[in-house]
């Protein structure tokens, strides 16, 4: 009982201070880690699917497994994780206004000589009256990506893309170009 009285007295003198949200740099570090985990998991499954059945087989990884992997990566965290692009394959991945601005910024930075691997952006923005941390990390176009995102697609790949994504805009890329970005957000 004496301990309880001392604890209450201490609170009167030193009230508990509610911890504010983490600093933007700390949140960016969390987002980088999640984006890195998503990248590794997605690449692993894509490469395995390519090896097993070629690019047509790999399309199912991007279509069904990528959203599942993103949800699994975010599970147990306050984060929402997705992919977006100025040339989206899936219309549900189309960028919002903030994402569009960052993707255009990435294109400019890349054209100015910045390395693809350094292209990221983050800030706290207002979403429906609530502060929300937003983060984006660029996705470049590597040589393996060209099988499904390049200019000269195999006819079987082109046919499958037309079947799965009638309004596909995610083709015509060259190696080294900005293909899109991982996009993460969490309310504060």
Does the structure show a pLDDT above 60 at 186? yes
All domains of the chain, ordered by start, with CATH? 25-187 (3.30.450)
119 within 8 A of 178, measured Cβ to Cβ:
yes
pLDDT tens per residue across span 57-112: 999 899 999 999 999 999 999 999 999 999 999 999 999 999 999 999 999 999 99
Does the structure show a pLDDT above 80 at 20? no
Provide the Cα torsion 162, 38, 80, 176; round to 10°: -60
- Which pLDDT does position 21 carry in this prediction? 73
How many angstroms separate the CA atoms of 95 and 83, rounded? Answer: 9
Q: Which two tokens stand for residue 10?
A: 């201490």
Q: What is the mean pLDDT of residues 48-59?
A: 93
- The structure's pTM equals 0.85
Q: What is the mean pLDDT of residues 165-174?
A: 95
Does the structure show a pLDDT above 50 at 168? yes
């Amino acid at each position: 009982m004496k301990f309880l009285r001392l604890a209450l007295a201490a609170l009167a003198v030193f009230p508990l201070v509610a911890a504010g949200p983490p600093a933007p740099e700390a949140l960016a570090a969390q987002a980088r880690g999640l984006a890195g985990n998503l990248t590794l998991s997605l690449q692993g499954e894509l490469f395995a699917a390519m090896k097993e059945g070629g690019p047509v087989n790999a399309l199912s990884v991007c279509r069904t497994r990528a959203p599942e992997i993103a949800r699994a990566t975010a599970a147990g965290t306050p984060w929402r994780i997705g992919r977006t692009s100025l040339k989206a394959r899936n219309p549900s991945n189309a960028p919002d206004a903030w994402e569009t601005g960052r993707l255009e910024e990435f294109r400019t930075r890349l054209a100015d000589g910045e390395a693809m691997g350094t292209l990221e952006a983050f800030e706290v923005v207002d979403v429906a009256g609530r502060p929300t941390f937003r983060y984006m990390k660029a996705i470049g176009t590597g040589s393996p990506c060209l099988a499904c995102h390049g200019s000269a697609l195999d006819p079987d790949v082109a046919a499958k893309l037309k079947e799965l994504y009638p309004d596909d805009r995610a083709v015509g890329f060259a190696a080294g170009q900005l293909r899109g970005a991982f996009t993460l957000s969490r309310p504060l």
